[in-house]
Amino acid sequence: EPEVTQTPSHQVTQMGQEVILRCVPISNHLYFYWYRQILGQKVEFLVSFYNNEISEKSEIFDDQFSVERPDGSNFTLKIRSTKLEDSAMYFCASFGTVPYEQYFGPGTRLTVT
Amino acid sequence: AQKVTQAQTEISVVEKEDVTLDCVYETRDTTYYLFWYKQPPSGELVFLIRRNSFDEQNEISGRYSWNFQKSTSSFNFTITASQVVDSAVYFCALSVLSSGGSYIPTFGRGTSLIVHP
């Protein structure tokens, strides 16, 4: 069964550093998402991406965040200058022709020290 | 705005007990989708079930069953004869069509289920 993959599984970075989280969505999917889950809390929507542009974003997704689909397979989330409160699990998801069926990746745990 | 309430923060049971996880949702949309996900200690989100708002049939899958009641806006999840491997955080989520044209789930805060041997 096709799956969404994410790398790295765990990233440790220092405050103020830039990080790029990578995702490979399912190949024929059209919509891509990033979510965040702070430890012990609920999963929160960050941004959705369709047709090479952001289709929606939440209040969390401020100027420190950006997303990109640099080639036909990868989908990245960049945090420009990480803060301690960016420490969380970040999930990528994608869906294709079934609009309500999202496939989640295994997540990247980001630790900002 | 959509809202999902999982009032039970943590449930602790002994193996073989039945347990029900509650989920209450709010939405003004008539078309919506409800989900349950399992999050084991390893952290990934494991999809369990999806129901659409037009299908109120209850569903059973092995030891898992779901009770969807539109009249009370609830989508409860029951594990029969719980096992230690069922220990995880369970999230209920609600998805409606957003203004941007995609379905974005709103998650509840999750219920941590601990099954003791």
Residue pLDDT tens, chain A, 113 long: 778 999 999 999 999 999 999 999 998 888 899 999 999 899 999 999 988 899 899 999 999 999 999 887 899 999 999 999 999 999 999 987 665 678 899 999 999 99
Write out the two tokens for A79: 């945090």
The single-letter code of the amino acid at B16 is K
Check residue A97 and give its pLDDT.
66
Q: Is cis: bond before B105, omega within 30 of 0? A: no
List CB contacts (< 8 A) between B43 and chain A: 89, 106-107, 109
pLDDT in tens, B37-73: 999 998 999 989 989 999 888 888 899 999 999 999 9
Check residue B117 and give its pLDDT.
95
Check residue A96 and give its pLDDT.
73
Write out the two tokens for B97: 């069509």
Q: How confident is the model at residue B79 (pLDDT cuts 50, 70, 90)?
A: very high
Give yes or no for a contact between A30 and A96, defined as CB atoms under 8 angstroms apart. Answer: yes
Check residue A17 and give its pLDDT.
97
CA distance, residue B46 to nearest chain A CA (Å): 8
How far is residue B74 from each of residues A3, B15, B17, B89, B104, measured CA to CA in Å?
30, 26, 22, 19, 19
Write out the two tokens for B83: 């096992």
Write out the two tokens for B109: 């805060």
Check residue A102 and give its pLDDT.
81
Quote the CA–CA distance of A40 and B110 in Å, as a whole number.
Answer: 9
**How many CA atoms within 13 Å lie on the side-chain side of A75?**
29
Q: How confident is the model at residue B99 (pLDDT cuts 50, 70, 90)?
A: confident
List CB contacts (< 8 A) between B91 and chain A: 42-43
Quote the CA–CA distance of A68 and A32 in Å, as a whole number.
Answer: 10
CA distance, residue B45 to nearest chain A CA (Å): 7
Quote the CA–CA distance of B1 and A59 in Å, as a whole number.
Answer: 14
Check residue A90 and give its pLDDT.
98
Q: What is the mean pLDDT of chain B?
A: 93
Give yes or no for a contact between B48 and B39, defined as CB atoms under 8 angstroms apart. Answer: no
User: Which residue from B minimizes the CA distance to A106?
Assistant: B44
Write out the two tokens for A112: 């900002």
Whats the size of chain A, residue-wise? 113
